Amino acid sequence: MCRWLAYSGSPVLIEELLYRPEHSLIDQSLHARLGAETTNGDGFGLGWYAPDSQTPAVFHSIEPAWNDRNLHEVASHVQSPLFLAHIRASTGTAVQQTNCHPFRYGRWLWVHNGLVRDFHRIKRDLALAVDDSLYASIEGSTDSEMMFYLALTFGLEDDPPRAVERMVGHVEEVGRRHGIEHPIQMTIGTTDGNSVWGFRYSSEGKSRTLYYSTDMRTVRELYPDRPRLQDLSDETRIVVSEPLVDLPGAWNEVPESSYGVVHDGEDELHPFTPVNTGNGG
Amino acid sequence: MCRWLAYSGSPVLIEELLYRPEHSLIDQSLHARLGAETTNGDGFGLGWYAPDSQTPAVFHSIEPAWNDRNLHEVASHVQSPLFLAHIRASTGTAVQQTNCHPFRYGRWLWVHNGLVRDFHRIKRDLALAVDDSLYASIEGSTDSEMMFYLALTFGLEDDPPRAVERMVGHVEEVGRRHGIEHPIQMTIGTTDGNSVWGFRYSSEGKSRTLYYSTDMRTVRELYPDRPRLQDLSDETRIVVSEPLVDLPGAWNEVPESSYGVVHDGEDELHPFTPVNTGNGG
Amino acid sequence: MCRWLAYSGSPVLIEELLYRPEHSLIDQSLHARLGAETTNGDGFGLGWYAPDSQTPAVFHSIEPAWNDRNLHEVASHVQSPLFLAHIRASTGTAVQQTNCHPFRYGRWLWVHNGLVRDFHRIKRDLALAVDDSLYASIEGSTDSEMMFYLALTFGLEDDPPRAVERMVGHVEEVGRRHGIEHPIQMTIGTTDGNSVWGFRYSSEGKSRTLYYSTDMRTVRELYPDRPRLQDLSDETRIVVSEPLVDLPGAWNEVPESSYGVVHDGEDELHPFTPVNTGNGG
Amino acid sequence: MCRWLAYSGSPVLIEELLYRPEHSLIDQSLHARLGAETTNGDGFGLGWYAPDSQTPAVFHSIEPAWNDRNLHEVASHVQSPLFLAHIRASTGTAVQQTNCHPFRYGRWLWVHNGLVRDFHRIKRDLALAVDDSLYASIEGSTDSEMMFYLALTFGLEDDPPRAVERMVGHVEEVGRRHGIEHPIQMTIGTTDGNSVWGFRYSSEGKSRTLYYSTDMRTVRELYPDRPRLQDLSDETRIVVSEPLVDLPGAWNEVPESSYGVVHDGEDELHPFTPVNTGNGG
């Protein structure tokens, strides 16, 4: 079980989100509340978009986030309008930088909480479906990265929701063909640097938690005495595995089998339905 | 808060103690039960004595013990009649190999659970008391290593209990001179490769837990159906921060302000009384 | 370019081979003489066989070997009759433990110096030839590990020379189909804990260097005043990328396109000829 | 032997200096030309000043700079008007983040190339001279950090050249009292975020190399066809252990026993003379 966070909005010091809230992501690395495991100490990752840069930066570490000095240095000296952070609890694969989220391809970042069940048994079949031109770019050994490359194969760069629905459909087909009852469990965050998509789904219909922040106007009206909130633009939005602060009215659960889009204009929330790719057999 | 273990007896695969018990030290690195903190993920260390070697080997890692593959490889391929292992939860100092226990000097190893309170304020005064010939061998920045070098200064190699009593007396004198109410909190394990000494003490009289195993004859009679216990010699003894298995009658608490000695012949248990060194002022 | 060493013979402290010779493997990590690159600082690995253990131990580190304290501790406290060591200079893939040699499968170890040219382009095609039951055990991203899993697929455990010949034949077929002129460059060391096989081959016929030690009787007669040599059994043999000491008469070059076997009884040297697997097309 | 670089001037992507020049600092980590050792693989550090931040950021790594992905990510996504970078070749002390340069205290950064001779013997005497309020902030075990804390003790924040002269005078006094002929060898770079001071000195009068870039107007006139140079302000200056590119007229050697100041207005170059502190005896 992992934890992740996506921020989109007014440029802020990354530290503001990762370290300062009462129940920040860094605090969750030692004391997660809503997951099966309380410790997420098997590495960490941060991806952020910088002005004038074609691709996002990624910082990966195999040390626990709570004591990684370099992470704190970067987070307290870099401002960004859009970033993803992830703390990892390995479900068996090696603790190494290439297994740390967010994964990056071109302008895209990808984080995942959950697992492909019995991944070891179906890994080869899943790998065969990855596009030939993408296969050699897979650097690590996780189910999460494999899901990313499958989504890229199925058109992530053109139609993210559809590509993720096809990826999930494919994993379920292959899994069930191998007799796996509930092949996939996930929340996913992905972004191209402009929009952020957040997905919540599991084959068994009991998915890991995912929350998004209420729109900032509402939050500001509810809490006029919180000065830090007054500076954030109306468009600012946070998507996160578990709430960062106990602020009633500030967090909404992403419903089961749904996905949301954070972008310019009104944000969206839609049902999520895996799509059969016909390649599973 | 840290956890540690000392083993002395029939040569065993180190893995038998570190990994296989139900509540092994590696399990305690993620799920300690008796301490203030449940996670001990800020590095690890193992020191063992090998036949034909003048000094013990030490293996230090800054990664959490629960996922360190090299530790598991070494532990599952090296047998030893005497070893110390330690999992660390930093109380503020850097996570680096030179801050990992056990510390080594010549044939001696040293592990510590606890802290010197307000160490930052009295560090220099403590360092001044370290013998000139030893000072430059201090490699890390922890209170634990400083305590080791003070004990060496006060004669650890000649009379370990007396040297530790003088070390503690000195830390308390220096601490109280700086207005620190309860300067020291500790359990300590130290060995020269022949005997093992285990200490339990704190200025406030509420010390961290420490247990030692009942003698093996008793354990074998109580549990005739545990085959692994039948092979261990009568002299085999384990000292540990918290019990490794729920085996009624197998573990005894080291009393407050006491120390024990594990060696050839009957083991001993004595009261521990800090000794004023007259150097604190 | 990497460097490796295999030792088989009288049990010795691993340190004797890794650290003590004038031009030891550790010295070669900073100052290799015979390779294109003088620095091999991208990680390290050691695999050794211990008595009473079914599988060899492996110790992998991403730090340069010359300053890795844990490696020195293990090497100076562990004796073994058979071990492989490897220092890495990455040709582009990530510096991570799962990319460090020796690779292990069951009782087998594998080290490689060289490369599969344009590996990125043919990686997927090579992966498809790996046996379904083995595929998910590939943990890293190197050409060297892929070669190992191909050799396992082609029968390494039953007939090592033939399996390596088929592996090389397959890589050459796939490579040439993609227009790669000289697909493979290699020296390889592999062992099951009883015998050691050393291979030297490259598609262009200009292979990386490989040496084996002259039989110990000869060496002892040549150098009666070297006490350390007097203790080693007649069967002791070292295979290495470049000589460890300047000792005339002690080292023999493995000829181009050849392989040798070190085992009980007379050692062997044979020509090496890639075998067409008919799977390249 | 180490290598370092200081940049002050128009804000640039750090990568421009660390990676892109023909003989960049990262290239020097594998292939230094002017030093006794060609490899500087024992860790790395980068310190940079960011807008709106009270203290500079520091990024320390114990991995060789040439393959550190996080360093490359940060350097290629962060712009700064003033930064120091350092690649380390350990002269014996542990490879750990707290031994990586630049060292930081408040707004100050400090890098060093060289050594205090027989540091082990005089470490305690040097430590005793460090101000009581600073002592506990020493985190590592290097001579370089000790020199920094001595300079802070002697007034670095008020009068940097005088403080460094007193620090060097003190080290020489203490060293000579212990019978060390040439106690110190150094180039030093230090900055408060506004000015940069570069020192070159050694007790034996044969100091490690140090260069500074010719003023940018001159360089631009000499090389009108180098577009990257046209964007840099007149004030831009680089100080470095060895030249980054072969550009005749672009680099000047800092003379023996001298120091330079890079700041607003005309830069300065002065003789450097150690000052006796009278504390050596």
- DSSP labels, chain A: --EEEEEEEEEEEHHHHHTSSTT-HHHHHHH-SSSS-S---S-EEEEE--TT-SS-EEEEESS-GGG-HHHHHHHTT-EEEEEEEEE---SSS--SGGGSSPEEETTEEEEEEEEETTHHHHHHHHHHTS-HHHHTT--S--HHHHHHHHHHHTTTTT-HHHHHHHHHHHHHHHHHHTT-SS-EEEEEEEE-SS-EEEEEEETTS-PPP-EEEPPHHHHHHH-TT-HHHHTS-TT-EEEESS-SS--TTSEEEPPTTEEEEE-SSS-EEEE------S---
Q: Between chain B and chain C, how many beta carbons pairs sit less than 8 Å apart? A: 40
Mark yes or no for CB contact C69/B50 under 8 Å: no
**A53 contacts D78? CB cut-off 8 A:** no
Of chain C, the percentage scoring pLDDT greater than 70 comes to 98
Handedness of CA A115, A118, A121, A122 (dihedral sign): negative
State CA C98 to chain mean position distance.
Answer: 16
Cα gap A249→A222, rounded to integer Å: 8
pLDDT higher than 70, residue B1: no
Cβ-count burial C182-206 (b if 16+ within 10 Å, e if not): ebbbbbbbbbbbebbbbbbbbbeee
Residue B172, pLDDT above cutoff 90: yes
- Confidence band, pLDDT 50/70/90 cuts, at residue B279: low
Residue A88 · residue A100 · CB < 8 Å: yes
Taking only the tens place, the pLDDT of each residue in B14-69 is 998 888 888 888 888 887 777 656 788 888 999 999 987 889 999 999 989 888 99
Residue of C67, C71, C72 to mutate when probing chain D, most D C-beta within 10 A: C67
Q: With pLDDT > 70 as the criterion, what percentage of chain A qualifies?
A: 98
The DSSP element (H or E) to which C61 belongs, if any, is strand C57-61
- Six-digit token string for C82: 């058979």
For range A190-215, the mean pLDDT: 95
More confident residue, D198 or A266: D198
Helix (H, G, I), strand (E, B) or coil at C204: coil
What is the distance of C-alpha D9 from the center of its chain? Answer: 17
* pLDDT at residue A28 in the model: 84
Is C272's pLDDT higher than 90? yes
Residue C33 sits at the vertex; the CA angle it makes with C29 and C37, to the nearest 5 degrees, is 65
Selection from A251, A248, A250, A255 nearest residue A269 by Cα: A255
Q: Is C177 helix (H, G, I), strand (E, B) or coil?
A: helix
Q: What is the pTM of this model?
A: 0.93
Between D260 and A242, residue with greater pLDDT:
D260
**How far is B58 from B102, CA to CA, in rounded Å?**
7
Instruction: Answer whether A76 touches D (CB < 8 Å).
Output: yes
How far apart are the C-alpha atoms of B46 and B44, rounded to whole Å? 7
- Range in A233-242, C151-160, D209-218, D241-250 with the lowest mean pLDDT: D241-250
Establish if D41 touches chain C: CB-CB under 8 angstroms. Answer: yes
Nearest to B268 by CA among B212, B222, B217: B212
In residues, how long is chain A? 281
pLDDT digits (tens, 9 = 90+) for C8-57: 999 999 998 888 888 888 888 887 777 656 788 888 999 999 987 889 99
Query: Average pLDDT, stretch A171-190?
Result: 97
Per DSSP, the residues of A152-207 read: HHTTTTT-HHHHHHHHHHHHHHHHHHTT-SS-EEEEEEEE-SS-EEEEEEETTS-P
**Which of C3, C58, C8, C1 lies closest to C260 in space, CA to CA?**
C8
- Say yes or no to pLDDT of A35 above 70: no
**Backbone φ, ψ for residue C50 (5° rounding):** -115, 150
Mean pLDDT of chain C: 91
Average pLDDT over residues B98-115: 97
> Which of B73, B104, B139 is best to mutate for the C interface (most C CBs within 10 A)?
B73
Tokens 């106007």 belong to residue: A217
| Confidence category of residue D37, pLDDT binned at 50, 70, 90 | low
What integer pLDDT is reported at residue D250 of this predicted model?
A: 85
Residue C72 has pLDDT above 70, yes or no: yes
C-beta atoms of C73 and B50 within 8 A: no
Measured distance CA(A215)–CA(A219) in Å, rounded: 7
Q: How confident is the model at residue B211 (pLDDT cuts 50, 70, 90)?
A: very high
Mean pLDDT calculated for residue range D214-238: 81
Tokens matching residue A75: 């987070």
Q: Is C120 exposed, middle or buried (0-12, 13-18, 19+ CB in 10 A)?
A: middle
Mean pLDDT of A186-191: 98
pLDDT at C279: 60
Q: Token pair for residue C265?
A: 């009884």
Minimal CA separation from C84 to chain D, in Å: 24
Per-residue pLDDT, A281: 44
* Mean pLDDT in residue range A212-223: 82
Kindly state the average pLDDT of the residues D239-268.
Answer: 89
Q: Which two tokens stand for residue B188?
A: 């300590």
Judge whether residue D280 has pLDDT over 70: no
Amino acid at B8: S
**Is C175 in a helix, a strand, or coil?**
helix
Instruction: Give the residue among B160, B182, B168, B172 at the shortest CA–CA distance from B270.
Output: B160
Q: Looking at residue C218, what is its pLDDT?
A: 80
Alpha helices for C203-277 (secondary structure H) = 216-222, 227-230
Distance of CA D51 to CAs D57, D85, D176, Å? 11, 18, 44
Query: What type of residue is A120?
Result: H
The three-state secondary structure class of C154 is coil
Give the DSSP H or E segment for D85: strand D79-87
| Residue B255: band (very low, low, confident or very high) from pLDDT cuts 50, 70, 90 | very high
Phi, psi (deg, nearest 5) at residue B148? -65, -45
pLDDT band at B245 (very low <50, low <70, confident <90, very high): confident
What is the spatial distance between Cα A81 and Cα A71, in angstroms, rounded to a whole number? 18
Identify the bridge partners of residue C113 per DSSP, sorted by sequence position.
C187
Q: What is the pLDDT of residue C232?
A: 83
Residue B247 or residue A197, greater confidence: A197
- What is the distance between the alpha carbons of residues A87 and C237, in angstroms, rounded to a whole number? 48
Q: Which chains sit next to D, with 3 or more Cβ pairs under 8 A?
A: A, B, C
Is residue B91 scored above 80 in pLDDT?
A: no
Is D38 in Cβ contact with C41 (below 8 Å)?
no
CB B249 within 8 A of CB B15: no
| pLDDT tens-digit map of D42-87 | 889 999 999 878 899 999 999 898 889 999 999 999 999 999 999 9
Each residue's pLDDT tens digit, A75-127: 999 999 999 999 988 877 889 999 999 999 999 999 999 999 999 999 999 99
User: What is residue D248's predicted lDDT score, i.e. its pLDDT?
Assistant: 79
Q: State yes or no: pLDDT of A158 exceeds 90.
A: yes
Spatial contact of A216 and A245, defined as CB atoms under 8 Å apart: no
Task: Give pLDDT tens digits for D175-203.
Answer: 999 999 999 999 999 999 999 999 999 99
What ipTM score was computed for the predicted complex, to two decimals?
A: 0.92
Confidence of residue A233 (pLDDT cuts 50, 70, 90): confident
Report the distance separating Cα B185 and Cα A160, nearest Å.
56
A39 within 8 A of B39, measured Cβ to Cβ: yes
The pLDDT, as a whole number, for residue B220 is: 80
* Percent of the residues in chain D that have a pLDDT greater than 90, as a whole number: 67
Contact between B105 and B148 under an 8 Å Cβ cutoff? The reply is yes
| C228: pLDDT strictly greater than 80 | no
Read off φ and ψ for residue C121, nearest 5 degrees: -75, -30
CB nearest to D67's CB, from C38, C42, C69: C42
Q: Touching check for D120 and chain B: CB below 8 Å?
A: yes
- Closest-CA distance, B141 to chain C, in angstroms, reads 18
CA distance A60 to chain B (A): 15
Q: Looking at residues B69-77, what average pLDDT do you find? A: 95
With 90 as the cut, is the pLDDT of residue D115 above it? yes
Residue C127 carries which DSSP code?
H
**Scanning every residue of chain B, which has its alpha carbon at the shortest distance from the alpha carbon of C49?**
B77
CB contact (8 A) between residue C124 and residue A135: yes
Span between the terminal Cα atoms of chain C, in Å: 30
Q: Is residue B281 over pLDDT 50?
A: no
pLDDT value of residue A90 = 82
What does the longest C-alpha to C-alpha distance in chain C come to? 58
CB spacing of D69 vs A53 below 8 angstroms? no
Four-point Cα dihedral A124, A128, A129, A132, nearest 10: 140
Instruction: Calculate how close chain C gets to A124, using CA atoms only, in Å.
Output: 6
Identity of the highest mean pLDDT range in A236-250, C56-70, D163-177: D163-177
Q: Which three-class secondary structure state does DSSP give residue B240? A: strand
C74-120 pLDDT, tens digit each: 999 999 999 999 998 887 788 999 999 999 999 999 999 999 999 99
Scanning chain C, the segments in alpha helix (DSSP H) are 14-18, 25-31, 69-75, 119-128, 132-135, 143-153, 160-177, 216-222, 227-230
Report the alpha-carbon distance of residue A54 to residue C11 in Å, rounded: 56
Of residues A43 and C58, more confidence is placed in C58
Cβ count within 10 A of residue C113 = 27
Closest partner CB to B53 (pick from C58, C69, C77): C77
Q: Do the chains contact at D136 and B121, CB–CB below 8 Å?
A: yes
Distance, in Å, from the CA atom of A229 to the CA atom of C34, rounded to the nearest integer, reads 63
Whole-angstrom distance, CA of residue D172 vs CA of residue D177: 8
> How far is the C-alpha of D151 from the C-alpha of D111, rounded, in Å?
12
- Strand order from edge to edge, sheet including A108-116: A103-105, A108-116, A184-191, A196-202, A258-262, A268-271
Q: Say what percent of chain B tops pLDDT 90.
A: 67
- State percent of chain A over pLDDT 90: 67
Q: Hey, CA dihedral for B209, B214, B220, B221, is it positive or negative?
A: negative
- Whether the bond between C102 and the residue before it is cis, its omega within 30 degrees of 0, is yes
What residues form DSSP beta bridges with C270?
A: C259
Residue carrying structure tokens 């007097």: C230
b vs e for C51-89, b when ≥16 Cβ sit within 10 Å of the residue's Cβ? eebebbbbbbbbbbbbbbebbbbbbbbbbbbbbbbbbbb
| Lowest-confidence segment of B166-170, C30-34, C151-155 by average pLDDT | C30-34
pLDDT of residue B243: 87
In the block, which residue shows the tokens 């490796």?
Answer: C4
